Amino acid sequence: MSREQELLAAFSRLGIGWTLNEHEAVYTVEESAALHARIAGDHTKNLFLKDAVGQFWLVTAPHNARVDLKALPGVIGSKKLSFGKAEDMERLLGVTPGSVTPLAAFNDTDKNVNVVLDSRLAGAECVNVHPLRNTATLGLSGANLLIFLAEHGHTAQVVDLPAPQ
């Protein structure tokens, strides 16, 4: 069974409803814009970050949000943040750039990555994320996303992500 199949089976065990839309590979928020018209719900972008003390962070924001990386450490309780390396992303989350998703916390069995979710998404009826690959979009409620993460050892910090001034 593939990790994606295991992920979907975990949703079933937890009674979490979801939708899946197959599409061409998308690597950036800009490339995914054409999908927004045909896939209902809130679309996301994900930032894989590393702080000054070596802690990793996965931040999920609305697709059109601008996040102030200088102010973010004060909000989430970290030190100065920079983008994480692709090798670390693949090692810790089992995904490559373009496929980053909060669902990848499912692969972080050692709990090395802190998950942060924008408050606007936490209460959303439908949050669209990748199901560990960038050739599909999976929709689930923000509440169910939080339940899924918690059931897999990642209690997400739900915060109001700071925007640049």
Other beta carbons less than 10 A from residue 30's beta carbon: 9
Q: Map residue 134 onto helix, strand or coil.
A: coil
User: Strand, coil or helix: what is 93?
Assistant: helix
- What is the structure's pLDDT at 68? 97
pLDDT at 30: 86
Q: Is the pTM of this model over 0.85?
A: yes
Which CATH homologous superfamily contains domain 3-159?
YbaK/aminoacyl-tRNA synthetase-associated domain (3.90.960.10)
Q: Report pLDDT for 31.
A: 86
* Look-up of token digits 């689930």: 140
Q: Give yes or no for residue 146 having a pLDDT over 90.
A: yes
pLDDT in tens, 35-44: 898 999 999 9
